């Protein structure tokens, strides 16, 4: 009983927040720059990869998941996992419907 309340809540300080702010602004500049370069097939992939990197910085540091309990980490991962099921199952269906009739 007593064990689960033991962990102290880490206070994340301004230094971390400033670093993340600049990383996020840099990521934004990078993704806008990349969208002006014609990379064909890779344009959307790079844009989504940079967006995911930015989202991870926000979740881990602004939202403190990096410092939080295993329960919180599991909850976040469960959310992402369920969303990936939604996306992958749906797209599998739509991509394979016209299979062979291109």
Partner 1 sequence: MQNSQIHAANSAPLAHEEHPSYLRHHFNSTEQQADAAGFAMWLFLLTEVMFFGGLFTAYLVYRNWYYPAFVSGSHQLNVVWGTTNTAVLILSSFTMAMGVWCAQTRRRRGLVLCLALTFFLGLVFLGIKTVEYREKIEKHHVPGFHYSLQSFLDPQSDPEVYKEYHDKALVPDMARHTELYFSLYFLMTGMHALHMIIGIGILGFMILRARAGAYTAGHETFVVNFGLYWHFIDIIWIYLFALLYLISRH
- Compare residues 94 and 102 and give the one whose CB is closer to partner 1: 94
Query: Using the rule CB under 8 A, is 63 a contact of partner 1?
Result: yes
Name the residue among 16, 29, 102 with its Cα closest to residue 64. Answer: 16
> Rounded to an integer, what distance in angstroms lies between the CA atom of residue 61 and that of residue 71?
17
Query: Using the rule CB under 8 A, is 30 a contact of partner 1?
Result: no
Of positions 66, 67, 69, 101, contacts partner 1 by CB under 8 A:
69
Site mask for partner 1 (CB under 8 A), range 32-51, x = bound: x--xx-xxx--xx--xx-xx
> Rounded to an integer, what distance in angstroms lies between the CA atom of residue 16 and that of residue 25?
14
């Amino acid at each position: 009983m007593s064990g689960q309340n033991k962990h102290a809540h880490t206070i994340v300080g301004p230094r971390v927040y400033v670093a993340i702010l600049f990383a996020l602004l840099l990521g934004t500049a990078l993704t806008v720059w990349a969208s002006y370069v014609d990379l064909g097939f890779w344009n959307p992939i790079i844009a989504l990869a940079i967006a995911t990197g930015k989202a991870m910085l926000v979740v881990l540091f602004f939202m403190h998941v990096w410092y939080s309990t295993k329960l919180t980490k599991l909850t976040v991962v469960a959310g992402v996992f369920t969303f990936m099921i939604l996306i992958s199952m749906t797209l599998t269906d739509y991509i394979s419907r016209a299979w062979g009739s291109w």
